[in-house]
Chains A and B, each alone.
Chain A
Amino acid sequence: MHGSHETGSPYAPHTDDGRTAMLEAVGVETAADLFDIPAAVAFDDEFGIDARTERETRRLVRSVLERNDELTELLGRGHYGYYIPSLVDHLADRSEFLTSYTQYQPEVSQGFLQALFEYQSLLVELTGLEIANCSMYDAATALGEAATLADRVRDTSGHRVLVPDILREGRRSTLENYVAGTDLEVETYPTADGNADLEALEEIVDEETVMIYAENPTIRGTIEENLSAIGESAADAEALFVLGSDPVALSVLQRPADVGADVVIGDASVLGLPTSYGMGLGLFACRDDYLRQVPGRLVGASEDATDRRAFTLTLQTREQHIRRERATSNICTNQAWVALRTAMHAATLGPTGMVELANRGVRRADEVAQRLDDLEGVTAAVHDRHHLREFVAHVDQPAQEVADALEERGFAVHVVGEHELQLCVAGVTDEQLDAFVTAVSEVVR
């Protein structure tokens, strides 16, 4: 019977007899009688949305999305499309993972809690910091949460949050929104070819500074060489040193704890998610001094009544459902399932695979830069720095013109200056890179 209905929700399995018995038990004639809505605000019109069969709906979504061009994406700047092993899709899509909710009853949620505990442990190893939460929405909101953490934990008053002048607009703007309810003000410090201008930064930092933010690799794909010095500047000012990075980069780059980072934020979905139009996974790790001030959920180990180790959400007195307006954050629904996918992807790679993936990003970016540099009309990379995954190239022609011509040939690239393109090799195959270099050679002059 359930499949034979013509109208109504296909996922409400009521039979006529069942519904009649229920109405009788409740003591009304129709379900409409149960709605206690004053006539003045009742809705008696239609939305004008036609119902469709499952097959028709699939066809509709597919036909809309087919309007997207199939392009080889040499795009990065914080969002990467690494190949995701099939194991991740198949296991993460098991319906218990997909169709459960926040683990308010830990006794029936051990599997998810353990997976999140393993995710937290992955971040602890990668950052060297003692605490990682089990997700924020994305890097931008994690950065915002880091600033409000700085506002809470810093002993002395102060209002300055320092960020690099090349911080992505989406991150900067999100940060501004997060600090709008505080006295904090976001200011920038200068950079050169992506990296911090250390001298200028040191002059800017003062006792009013509550937080210094740096990224490694930078938004331009370069490796930040002055992390320890930035960390010292922050420590001297008693400001929080917040470092932005991601799990692939952290597999080989200097360990944040070793350069004085107090908080690490970033997008952990570089592992586990495809290029999903910017959907992300906010990484958030910090020193254990801030345990009671951490935003977001934490999974901890405990014991059950049989004295076996068991996992549970813990330190919930920081959270909005307990402490309301005194909570450390308003986050409730987070990105748990993405965290699961990230942990699965990392586990599939193992430490050797993680390091190799990062190293490949260094080697291939170098190789492609070299091949482009050999072309007339291109200088790549434009800087003499180490880089990971991506780099900036100078083109003699207007960059937008080159990008448009490349798009016509099936390649998407960033335009980051009048004559600057940014190119990312993560997630691109060797064959695609060969074809890309050929395309560039046809386009530039």
Chain B
Amino acid sequence: MSDERTTAETPIDASQVRYDQARYVENGQYEPLLSEKDLTRVAIGDADAGEEGEATRVDSPLPDDLTRDSLELPELSEPELARHYTRLSQMIYGIDSGPYPLGSCTMKYNPKFTEDVAALPSAAVHPDRSERSIQGTLELLARLQDYLGRIGGMDAVTLQPPAGAAGEFVGIRVAAAYHEHNGEGHRDEVIIPESAHGTNFATAALGGYDVVSLPSNEEGRVELEALEAALSENTAALMLTNPNTLGLFERDIEEIAEMVHDVGGLLYYDGANLNALLGRARPGDMGFDVMHYNVHKTFATPHGGGGPGAGPVGVVEDLEPFLPAPRVREANGGDVDYELFDPDHTIGHVHGYQGNWLVLIKAFAYIARLGDDGLADASAKAVLNANYLASQLEYDVPYEPFHHEFVASAGEQDAADVAKRMLDYGVHPPTTKWPEIVPEALMTEPTEIESKETLDRLAAAFNAVAEEGDEVLEDAPDRTTARRIDQTSAARNPRLSWQALTDDE
């Protein structure tokens, strides 16, 4: 960190912090599987009930040749299930458990009221309902499209993609359709910076494109000369995250946009880091043609243990005709206020229906709650928090000035071990070993929801670990439900179901 920064007095003594996660042990094992508590075999049709132990017979009204013989699943009482799932929940660390500075994932506090509005009975509608009977659903979608368009500086938005990567896929398919429509179907390359999210590469490949990888310059940004060399008449698009995964703003964005547009390519904005820009800059104003929004990140909808999220896509006017079908719009007269329609040159569906509706409700409610001031404030405090936390760390942070996230280096320590040890201090560790530009990377994103006091505790945990030796780190964690887990044997001898565990014995 730069010298003029001062280190505030840390009021937390990390050695006095001890975290113990819930742990049940029964017969030498943690919480048993449902199948170990009970496994009931139900025989169907004419199956021989006695063949494999006791079985309950259930007759089916269907002929035997169309039905299975039996079904074997746990049969437990409701109280037993309530305890099982309560115990499982206690063996999970969430954002409500403590700090979760997982870089690039933007783990923010999720307001509880959004769960209530998503659970409204009036939200539970079948996707094949007539337009006139679901005007509320269509209006909410239209209003969310409008909000997102304003926030991103985009002319049109689709809400169909069910996740960020699905949004990327829409971006790539829209780009392909656009080029094809203009007689430029020969464009077969997508340029992606080395430091980009792995989904960018996978998405471009899924779309049938060759990936041209772009190195970063010494400052950690796009190297313009390398970009110049990569661009050609074969360029379909450049996929860019801004700020990038080092938290750095691509200052040359105007020039980058011009260079991409000059060869006829499109500029794609990966919205994973949008939380850093709310109310300060908009992808549309920077020259991006298409972008996705990770509403589960930027707009505090719960990540649900890995989903569902939603990945709406915004585009400039020229690309609107290619968006997925159907879209929602205000009706121009007629007996409804809102209607569905298919854009003229639509790529069709990217989801069976209209994406993750319940997540979209939560995003809408979050944006409506915060408004202009709240969104800009969230962004300002997210950036302040990242900068403050970094200023308190003993670990080196090689690239700056960063925005909402930074990448520290664990130096001589193994970043994965550092992460395990941080768990013992009651905090979720940062993303580790990525981006690879920084050796033993600790990619850290505290978000706006942490107070100075919490950031001090977080810094104390980081710094305590920084002082610890390899022996302690390699033995960590020991205060979590499970101790260090053997990842290698899990991959070498895959056991992916309780049936596989039984077969193993």
Interface residue? A131 (CB, 8 A): yes
List of B residues within 8 angstroms of A70 by Cβ: 122
Cβ contacts B83-97/A at 8 Å (1 or 0 each): 011111111111111
Residues A335 and B302 in contact, CB atoms below 8 Å apart: no
CA gap between A275 and B254 in the complex, in Å: 45
- Decide if B18 is an interface residue (CB 8 Å cutoff): no
CB of A415 to closest CB in B, whole Å:
9
Does chain B have a CB within 8 A of A65? yes
Interface 9-residue window, one of B260-268, B312-320, B383-391, B463-471 = B383-391
Give the chain A neighbours of B130 by CB distance below 8 A.
403, 407, 412
* Residues of chain B with a CB closer than 8 A to A41's CB: 253-254, 281, 285-287
Q: A75-B129, A101-B105 are in contact. Are A68 and B137 (CB under 8 A)?
A: yes
Interface: B169 (CB within 8 A)? yes
- Indicate with 1 or 0, residue by residue over B2-29, a CB within 8 angstroms of chain A CB atoms: 1011111000000000000100010011
Name the contact of A329 in the complex, choosing from B30, B202, B358, B384 (C-beta under 8 A).
Answer: B202
Partner of A181 from B82, B209, B285, B355 at Cβ < 8 Å = B209
A340 to B140 CA separation, bound complex (whole angstroms): 27
A51 contacts which of B85, B168, B199, B370 (Cβ < 8 Å)?
B370
- Collect the chain B residues with CB atoms within 8 Å of residue A110's CB: 30-31, 88, 91-92, 481-482
Given contacts A41-B281, A320-B198, A354-B73, contact A51 B371 (CB under 8 A): yes
Is there an interface contact between B93 and A135, defined as CB atoms closer than 8 Å? Answer: no
The reply on B54 being an interface residue by CB < 8 A is: no
A109: nearest residue on chain B (CB-CB)?
B92
**Shortest beta-carbon distance, B240 to chain A, in Å?**
13
A278 touches B352 (CB 8 A): yes
A75-B126, A180-B173 known; A118 and B33 CB under 8 Å? yes
Evaluate contact between B73 and A302: CB separation under 8 angstroms: no
- Determine the distance from Cα of A136 to Cα of B73 in the docked complex, in whole angstroms: 23
Residue of B199, B203, B352, B401 ringed by the most chain A CB atoms within 10 A = B352
Most chain A Cβ neighbours within 10 Å, of B87, B364, B388, B419: B388
**CB of B461 closer than 8 Å to a CB of A:** no
Say how far B169's CB is from chain A's closest CB, in angstroms: 6
Q: How far is the CA of A297 from the CA of B307 in the complex (A)?
A: 12
Q: Are A103 and B280 in contact (CB under 8 A)?
A: no
Interfacial chain A residues near B491, Cβ < 8 Å: 300, 314-317
Residue A409 at the B interface, CB < 8 A? no
Given contacts A67-B139, A109-B92, A351-B75, contact A275 B124 (CB under 8 A): yes
Residue-wise interface mask of A (366-393) relative to B, using a CB-CB cutoff of 8 A (1 in contact, 0 not): 1000000000000000000010100000
Q: Which residue of B lies closest to A278 (CB)?
A: B353
Interface positions of A from 249 to 279, Cβ below 8 Å from B: 250-255, 258, 267, 274-279
Asked if B281 and A37 make an inter-chain contact with CB atoms under 8 angstroms apart, the answer reads yes
Interface residue total, chain B, C-beta cutoff 8 A? 209
**Contact indicator per residue, chain B 103-128, by CB within 8 Å of chain A (1) or not (0):** 00101111101011101101111111
Cα(A39)–Cα(B364), bound, Å? 30
Taking CB atoms, residues of chain B closer than 8 Å to A4 are none
A104 touches B431 (CB 8 A): yes
A96 and B94 in contact, given A25-B391, A258-B68, A332-B199 (Cβ under 8 angstroms): yes
Q: Does residue B333 face the partner (Cβ distance < 8 Å to A)?
A: no
Is B485 at the interface (CB under 8 A from chain A)? yes
State how many angstroms separate the Cβ of B294 from the closest Cβ of chain A: 8
Is there contact, CB below 8 Å, between A386 and B63?
Answer: yes
Is B345 close to A, CB under 8 A?
A: no
Indicate if A36 sits at the interface (CB-CB under 8 A).
yes
Asked whether A52 is an interface residue with its Cβ less than 8 Å from the other chain, the reply is yes
Smallest CB gap from A324: residue in B: B201
Residue pair A42, B378 in contact (C-beta under 8 Å):
no
Question: Are A107 and B484 also in contact (CB < 8 A) when A64-B136, A332-B165 are?
Answer: yes
Q: Is the CB of A25 within 8 A of B392?
A: yes
> CB < 8 Å: which of A94, A95, A116, A351 contacts B86?
A94
Closest 9 CB pairs of A and B: A278-B353, A181-B208, A51-B371, A337-B304, A278-B127, A140-B352, A111-B88, A67-B136, A111-B91
Known: A96-B90, A124-B500. 7 other contacts (CB 8 A): A13-B450, A43-B285, A51-B370, A101-B306, A170-B351, A330-B165, A335-B307
17 contacts between A and B (CB under 8 A): A10-B369, A31-B381, A34-B401, A49-B371, A50-B371, A51-B374, A53-B369, A73-B126, A101-B303, A111-B91, A223-B62, A274-B124, A278-B357, A312-B487, A330-B205, A347-B76, A355-B58
